Structure 1
Amino acid sequence: MMTTPTVREQVVHHAITLMMLRGYNGFSYRDLSELVGVKTSSIHYYFPSKDDLVLEAVSEYSNQVFNDIHAIDASLPADAKLAKYTKKFGRILGGGDQICLCGMLAADIGSLPDNIRHAVQAFFKANENWLAKVLAQGAKEGTLAVNGKPESAARTLFAAYQGCVLASRLFQTKARLEDVETAWKIMK
């Protein structure tokens, strides 16, 4: 049986979507009140400040992404893990008009408080750490091309994923995401 999301859950969900589309400064509590069907005072009850809401949104978004990552079968070869990661990352694009929430916030980081900056950094580091393990596995198996240390390569790879969602949005195509994955595979 499906339960109806609470007002709080709806607010967080819509905030995530709006930030992925418009960024931190591209939405207001008024936008959220119209989407959820409540007064802005109701939103302030749950989230006294926009920063409180954004921090909760980053936490929720990160949990969703990490649940997806941890659902990837650990027994798979590294290239298959990377392919599944790419597919999951591609879902972020939605209809081609969204950007990773933490990637979008990273662009606004200069105007955000330290606690949000730390949450966004933690998101990046967790993705990079997982990718480093996959790249190390792929180098050992001979399924992925890794130049240098897996940690450095993982930072480069994650930056490529973040950049490709920007370019995918710009050119309205997901093909750029597939290009990133292909660049790391060893062709057999």
Structure 2
Amino acid sequence: MKSLDTRSALVDEAERFIRIQGYAGFSYADLSKRIGIRKASVHHHFPTKEDLGVAVIDTYLERFSRELDALASKPVDAATKLSSYGEFFSTSLNDGLMPLCGALAADTSALPKSMQRRVKKFFQIHLEWLEETVSDGLRDRMLKSGPSASSTATLLLSTLQGASIIAWALKDPSVIKRAYTQALASIIR
């Protein structure tokens, strides 16, 4: 396996472990067994677990930011964009995985500071995108006026994160869609 392929495989597999077991729930021995390389090879690519965790979050942030940018640029109304945004959460649970930011937020106290900052940034990216989309919907009169765009963004993200935890516990991804659909219905004209 090429070095870049090995590095990517390690990041992908570490993300999977985090989304299933949490950051503290796996070791380099688990990764080496799953990827089929020696533990020393894992350390060659990522000298510390923090280095690996940072790479996982940064890779995910890049991927998720591209998805949000693509969704933002679609020529559809804010309500459609908000609905599509909710699909990101239910899709990840269909694969049996907890959303990464939720899984890491649950482990925040055990995370190194560099990872805590990235988790915070991840939630800020979510909230900024939601606030901008809600603002667009308010401006276009697609959404009901009431609480601020910022408060509505927090409500929507909180609904998705909370529903993700419940869906994870119940092993029922449909929980997310039902909760989010209800939250959206409360703000759409």
Report the TM-score when normalising by structure 1. 0.90
Q: Which residue of 2 aligns with 1:19?
A: 18
What residue is the counterpart of 2:133 in the other structure? 134
Using the alignment, how far apart are the partners of 1:146 and 1:13 within structure 2? 41
Q: Give the superposition deviation at 1:71.
A: 1.2
Q: How does 1:38-187 map to 2 (within 5 A)?
A: 38-72=37-71, 73-95=73-95, 97-145=96-144, 147-178=146-177, 179-185=179-185
2:35 counterpart letter in structure 1 = V
**Percent of pairs identical after alignment?**
28
* Count of matched residue positions in the alignment of Structure 1 and Structure 2: 185
Instruction: Work out the CA distance in 1 between the residues paired with 2:36 and 2:157.
Output: 37
Q: What amino acid does structure 2 have at the position aligned with 1:75?
A: P
Cα deviation, residue 154, structure 1? 0.8
Which structure features the higher share of helix residues?
2
Q: CA–CA distance in 2 between the matches of 1:171 and 1:4?
A: 39
Q: How far 1:4 moved relative to its partner? A: 10
Long gaps (5+) in structure 2 = none
SS of structure 1 residue aligned to 2:94: coil
After TM superposition, the score normalised by the length of structure 2 is: 0.90
Between stretches 63-72 and 20-29, larger displacement belongs to 63-72
Once the two structures are superposed, what CA deviation does each residue of 1:109-153 show, in whole Å capped at 9, x if it has no partner? 112111111000000000100000111122223333453111122
> Cα RMSD over matched residues?
2.0
| CA deviation string 1:27-81 (max 9, x = no partner) | 1111111111100100001111111100110111111111111111343100110
Could you tell me how far 1:93 is from its partner in structure 2? 1.2
Decide which moves more: 131-140 or 14-23: 131-140
**Alignment CA distance shift 1:106-1:187 (3 Å):** closer
CA pair 111-187 structure 1, distance change in 2 beyond 3 A:
closer
Residue 139 and residue 26 in structure 1: after superposition, are their counterparts in 2 closer, same or farther (change >3 A)? Answer: same
Confirm or deny: 8 A CA contact 1:68 1:88 kept in the other structure.
no
CA apart distance, 1:106: 0.9
The more displaced of 116-125 and 157-166 is 157-166
- Give the Cα–Cα distance (whole angstroms) in 1 for the partners of residues 119 and 188 of structure 2: 34
Runs of 4+ in 1 over 4 A off after TM superposition: none
Instruction: Give the superposition deviation at 1:90.
Output: 1.9
